[in-house]
Structure 1
Amino acid sequence: MSRSQPPGFTPTGTISTSTDRRRVVFATVVGTTVEWYDFFLYASAAGLVFGQLFFAPAGPGIAQILSFLTVGLSFLFRPLGAFLAGHLGDKYGRRVVLMLTLILMGASTTLIGVLPTYEVIGVAAPALLILLRVLQGISAGGEWGGAVLMAVEHAPKAKRSLFGASPQLGVPLGLLLASGMLALMALIAPGDAFLAWGWRVPFLLSFVLILIGYYVRRKVEESPVFVEIAERKEQTRMPIVQLFRKHALLVIIAAFVFAGNNAVGYMTTGGYIQRYATNPDGPLGLATADVLGAVTLSAVSWFVFTWIGGWLGDRIGRRNTYIIGWIALLVAIIALFPLVNSGSLALLTLGLMLLTVGLGLTYGPQAALYAELFPASIRFSGVSISYAIGAICGGAFAPTIATALVDLTGTTVSVTVYLAIMAVLGLVATLLLRDRSGIPLGPDHEAEQEVSPIRGLSRV
C-alpha cells in the first residue's frame, strides 16, 4: 500500500536533516535535565533538611526514615504516570506527553519551595509535601518513555544508542544542577540560614527552568514512527492491555535490568550518601557543602560515562555494553563504603566517581535497548511501564533500606551486600535478553518486532 510521507521524513522513519536531529537531541537533554533536577532536588533535600522541618515530632531517627520514605513513596505512583503516559503516548503521540509531564513536575517543585513547615501549619505540612512528591512521581513515570522514544525513533539506525543516551544525560545533569545549587546555597546561607530559607531557593528556580524547557520542547516535531502510525490510523485502542497480554514476562525482565542500576544510583540521587556523610551524630560528620561538592563532581563523571555507554552501545551492542557495566559496577560497590568510611573527602569523592563508571555503562544504552524490545504500536507503554516497575524494585526505597540495614546491623557491609545483590539481578536479567541492535522500529515491521527478545523463546 502506498502512502504519502510527512514532509521532511525519509521512508525509513528518520528525520532527513542533521539540523532537525540536533534539535531533538538538544530538546530531550534540556527537558530531562529540568525534570530530573526537580526530582533529585527533592531527594537531596530529604536527606539534608526535610526530616527536621516536616517530620521532627517523630524523633531524629524516625524523622529521617520518614523523610526517605517520602522519596520512595513517589516511586509507587510512577506506574500510574507510566500507564497514563503510555496510553496517551501510544494513542496521541510522544510530544504532547512530554509537555504535560514537564509542566506537572515544575509546578510541584515550585510549590515545595513555598511550602510552610510543620512548625507553622502542623501535620498539614508533611501531608502537602507528600502530595507534591506524589505528583512528581506521576510526572517522572511519564517523562522518561516519551523522551527516549523521541530520541531513538528520530535517530539513524547506526546511532540509536548514542541518540538514546541524550535523554539519559539529563539524569546526571539534573543531579549536577541540583547538587550544585544546594552546595551554592549551603555556602551562601550556611547552618541555620540554610535550614530556614537557603534550601528553598533551588526549588523556586524550577519555575524559570520549566519555562526554558517548555520553550525548547515546543520546537520539536513528533516522532516519525508515531506520525506513520497515526497516518495509517493504526493506534492501539488499549495499548496497556495488549502489552500485558503478550509481553508481561518481557516487562518484568526489562524492569530488573533497570532495577540493578537504579538501586545503586540512588545511594547519591536518593540522598543517602549525603545524609550518611553529613549526619552530625554519625561516624563522619563532614560539611554539607563539601559532600554536595563531591556529589556534583560525581555527576560530571556520570555524565561522561553515560555518553560513553551510549557510544559503546552502537559499537559493540547494547547487551555487551551492559555486561561490562555490571562488572564495573560490582567492583565499585565493593570499594564504595571502605572509601566513604575513611573520613576523607577526597576518598569519598573517588568512591562516588568509581561508582559512576558502571552506572553510566548500564544507563547510556538503556533507551535503545528498551525501544528495540517492544513493537511500535505499544512501545511507549512498554518502555514506560518497564522503567517505572524497575524504579520501584530498584531505587524507590534504596535509601530507606540502606538506613534500616545500618541501624539493624551497625555496619555498612550490609548495604554493600544489598547493592551487590541488586547488581547481580540486573546482570542476570541482561543475560536473559537477546541483543536486538538495529531492528527496524517502524509499524511495517511489527511481525519482526513481535519475535520474543527473551533468550530461549521464539515468540511472545
Structure 2
Amino acid sequence: MSTEPPVPPTAARTSSRTAGREAGKVAFASFVGTAVEWYDFFLYGASAALVFGALFFPTDNALVSQLAALGTFTVGFVARPLGGIVAGHFGDRIGRKRMLVLSLMLMGVATVGVGLLPTYAAVGVAAPALLVLLRVGQGLAVGAEWGGAALMAVEHAPPNKRALYGSAPQLGVPAGAILANLVLLTVVQATGDAFMTWGWRIPFLLSVVLVVIGMFVRRRVTESPLFTEAAAAHPEPAQRRNPLVTVVREHPWAAVRGMFASVASTSWGYVILVFILSYGPTSVGYSRNTMLTLIILSSLLQVGAMLYAGRVADRIGRRKVALIGSGLQVIVAVAFFPAFDSGTVWLALTVCLIASVGLSAQYGPLPALLSEQFPTEVRYTGVSVSYMFGNILGGGLVPLVGTALVAATGTSFSVGLYMLGLSLVTAVAVLATRETVDDDLSAVASSSRP
C-alpha cells in the first residue's frame, strides 16, 4: 500500500493549468520558429522560379536556365535527411530544444548569405556554386528543424489533443509561405524593373529580423517532459544506443510507412507553393502578381484547414482524416491542370483551394501520426528520417519533375497523373499504419535498454 499522501484537488488543477499553459507556449514557439524557417525556405523556392535562372544560370535556353535554378531548390531536399539524422541523433541524446535553436541560427545565416551573393555576371561559376552551398545549408537547417518542432509540440500536448497541438508547427509552412510571398509581392511592386537587379535581395536580408524574433521565443520554452523522463533513466548519453541504428533495426517498417505517408501532402504543397509560380506565367500567361496572390490565398486556407484537421483527428483518428485528404487529392489530380490551364483565374484559384484542403487533412495530423510510431528515446530520429525522405520522394522533386514532364510530353496533364500516383502511394501507406489516437505516448514500446 502506498504511504504517499494524495495530491490535493486544487494542486492537481493548478498543475494541470500550468502544464496546459506551457503546452500552449511550446506550440506557439514551434509555430513561430517553423514559420521563420519556412519563410526562408519558400523565399528561395519562389526566387528560384522567378529570378535565379537568369541571374545565376544564364544560358541561351530559358528552359535550361529554369531547370538549373529549380535543381538547386531540389538540392535543399537532398540535404534535409542529413540534417534530420544529425539533429535527431543529438536531439535524442541531449535534448530537442538545443537542436531547434541551432537549426534556426543555421537557416538565418544561409538565407542572409543568399541575399549577399554576387551573381554570375560578377564572379562567373563561383556564383552558382556558392548558391548551391547555401541551399545545402538551408536544407540541413529544415531537416534539423521539423522533427524537433513537431516533437516539442506533441510531447508537451495533453494526451487527447496531440494532433491539434502537433499541427502548430505545420501551420508554420503556410504562414511562412504567406509571409514570403507577401514580402515578394511588396518588393516587386516597390522596386519595379530594379527587382531583377537588386530588389530580389531585400526579402533575404530581412530574414535576420525574423530569426532574432524566433530565437527569442524558442529560448523561453522548456525541454520536452517525455525526453526529460527518458534521459533520467540513462543520465549519460553514452549509455543510450545509437538512435539511427535502433530505428533501422527495430522500427524499419514504421519509418517506411511514415516516409510514404508524408509524400502526397508535401508534394501537393510544392505544386501550389513553387511549381505554379514558374509554370503559370511562362506556360499559361498568368501574371507574376496573380500567382503570388493565388499562393497567399491558398496558404491562408491551409492555416485554418490544418487546425481543423488536427482537431478532428483527435476525435475520429489520424487515419480517417488522412484518407479523406487522399480522396480529395485523387479527385483534384484529374481536374487541377485542365482548370489551371484554362487561363481563368477563379478556376485556378478553386482547384488550388481544393488541393489545399486535401493536403491539409494529411499534413495537419502528420506530427502526431509519426510521433506515435516511435519510442521517446529514438523519436526525433524516427520522425525526421520518415518525413525528410518522404520529402525527397515527394515535395523536393515536384518542381523539377513537373517542369521536365511538361517539356517532355507537351501537356501539364502528365503532372496531374504524377500527382495522382503520389496520392495513391500515401493512401496505401496510411491504410498500412495502425491507428494510434488512443495510445499513451510515454508507453510506446521502449528501446531504452543500454
The answer to whether the 8 Å contact 1:14/1:153 transfers is no
Does residue 278 of structure 2 align to residue 278 of structure 1?
no
Shift of 1:277: 0.9
Structure 1: state its 5+ residue gaps.
3-8, 451-460
Structure 1 runs of 4+ with >6 Å offset: none
Shift of 1:285: 2.1
The answer to whether the 8 Å contact 1:15/1:21 transfers is no
The equivalent position to 1:142 in structure 2, one of 144, 147, 154, is 144
Shift of 1:237: 3.1
- Structure 1 residues 165, 100: CA separation in 2 closer, same or farther (over 3 Å shift)? same
The equivalent position to 2:126 in structure 1, one of 124, 127, 142, is 124
Does residue 267 of structure 2 align to residue 263 of structure 1?
yes
Shift of 1:14: 8.1
* Residue aligned with 1:198, SS: coil
User: 1: distance between equivalents of 2:199 and 2:121?
Assistant: 17
- Structure 1 residues 14, 210: CA separation in 2 closer, same or farther (over 3 Å shift)? farther
* Residue aligned with 1:77, SS: helix
Shift of 1:446: 4.4
Alignment match, 1:159: 161
User: 2: distance between equivalents of 1:218 and 1:375?
Assistant: 25
Cα deviation 1:207-257 (Å, max 9, x = unaligned): 000000000001100000011112222652311111101112221111000
The answer to whether the 8 Å contact 2:264/2:359 transfers is no
The answer to whether the 8 Å contact 2:20/2:158 transfers is no
Q: What amino acid is aligned across from residue 180 of structure 1 in structure 2?
A: L
Does residue 102 of structure 2 align to residue 94 of structure 1?
no
Shift of 1:15: 7.9
Identity in percent: 42
Does residue 218 of structure 2 align to residue 217 of structure 1?
yes
The answer to whether the 8 Å contact 1:305/1:360 transfers is yes
User: 1: distance between equivalents of 2:199 and 2:349?
Assistant: 24
User: 1: distance between equivalents of 2:308 and 2:135?
Assistant: 32
Q: Aligned runs of 1:390-409 on 2, under 5 Å?
A: 390-409=390-409
TM-score under structure 2 length normalisation: 0.93
Shift of 1:199: 1.5
Q: Aligned runs of 1:292-371 on 2, under 5 Å?
A: 292-371=292-371
Shift of 1:186: 1.6
Q: Aligned runs of 1:379-418 on 2, under 5 Å?
A: 379-418=379-418
The equivalent position to 1:67 in structure 2, one of 66, 69, 88, is 69
CA RMSD of aligned residues (A): 1.9
Cα deviation 1:175-202 (Å, max 9, x = unaligned): 1111111111121122x31111222111
Q: What amino acid is aligned across from residue 272 of structure 1 in structure 2?
A: F
Shift of 1:17: 3.3
User: 2: distance between equivalents of 1:294 and 1:85?
Assistant: 35
Alignment match, 1:188: 190
User: 2: distance between equivalents of 1:302 and 1:255?
Assistant: 22
* Residue aligned with 2:197, SS: helix
TM-score under structure 1 length normalisation: 0.91
The answer to whether the 8 Å contact 1:184/1:289 transfers is no
- Structure 1 residues 331, 231: CA separation in 2 closer, same or farther (over 3 Å shift)? same
The answer to whether the 8 Å contact 2:83/2:142 transfers is yes
User: 1: distance between equivalents of 2:208 and 2:336?
Assistant: 36
Cα deviation 1:256-301 (Å, max 9, x = unaligned): 00012212211123x210111112xx3x222211210111111101
The answer to whether the 8 Å contact 1:266/1:399 transfers is yes
Number of aligned pairs?
435
User: 2: distance between equivalents of 1:417 and 1:238?
Assistant: 40
Alignment match, 1:239: 243
Q: What amino acid is aligned across from residue 45 of structure 2 in structure 1?
A: A
Cα deviation 1:30-55 (Å, max 9, x = unaligned): 00000001001100110010001100
User: 2: distance between equivalents of 1:408 and 1:36?
Assistant: 31
* Mean CA deviation greater in 287-296 or 165-174: 287-296
The answer to whether the 8 Å contact 2:22/2:156 transfers is no
Cα deviation 1:280-326 (Å, max 9, x = unaligned): xx3x2222112101111111011111111111110110011101111
Shift of 1:102: 0.4
* Mean CA deviation greater in 364-373 or 176-185: 176-185
Alignment match, 2:231: 230
Q: What amino acid is aligned across from residue 340 of structure 1 in structure 2?
A: F
Shift of 1:382: 0.3
